[in-house]
A = this chain, B = another copy of it.
């Protein structure tokens, strides 16, 4: 049983709690039996650690598990997973240009899956999708999506045959008035600042949702309503 908090492997695993550590290793941690089993079924599970002899995995002490877990609710099993490499571009694509809140990204992943936006492109500056809070709030949707990362403008320019919509309150078209395209992409911006100037300067069509004046919607809510309408 690993019980030392200064154990070499424990230190390495702690690096996976940081975005930098996940990037350099190509691995991330999932917490709890449910997610460990999902990762196993997908063939991306690399290692398992547990505090419970009855469960699969290398035994660690509760103190070590507490150090490896991100939440106050310490689980009895965690899995180290390898990131899923994907370059599949589905017919419906969600493009995120700087979404920062992990809960928002997780909720958007659930909505994307539910409304058949099976590819999510994460532009530079968007929160790390393998952040523990994103994984928790995505409720497993993260495993079912094709996730791509890179420069948002390069990606938009590479899309051929897609109807591409940005979101901007100015000069927009109401989402319930657009014709449905077979291949479409939706761009959402940062919580505070919206879509970046670089993307705005591309001159794409903008969508908006009819709401009471002076109000605004949370980005996960707005993005989900747009995906809901576009998938109708």
Find the B residue at minimum CB distance from A102.
Answer: B103
On chain A, the number of residues with a Cβ less than 8 Å from chain B's Cβ atoms is 27
Query: In the bound complex, do residue A217 and residue B103 qualify as a contact, i.e. CB atoms below 8 Å apart?
Result: no
Copies of chain A in the complex: 2
Whole-angstrom CA separation of A32 from B149 in the bound complex? 34
A113 at the interface (CB under 8 A from B): yes
Stretch at the interface among A42-50, A162-170, A208-216: A208-216
Nearest CB of chain B from residue A213's CB, rounded to whole Å: 10
A184 at the interface (CB under 8 A from B): no
Query: In the bound complex, do residue A113 and residue B212 qualify as a contact, i.e. CB atoms below 8 Å apart?
Result: yes
A120 at the interface (CB under 8 A from B): no
**What B residues does A212 contact at CB under 8 A?**
113-116
A107 at the interface (CB under 8 A from B): yes
A156 at the interface (CB under 8 A from B): no
Find the B residue at minimum CB distance from A115.
Answer: B211
**What B residues does A116 contact at CB under 8 A?**
212
Query: In the bound complex, do residue B141 and residue A221 qualify as a contact, i.e. CB atoms below 8 Å apart?
Result: no
**What B residues does A107 contact at CB under 8 A?**
217-218, 220-221
Whole-angstrom CA separation of A216 from B116 in the bound complex? 12
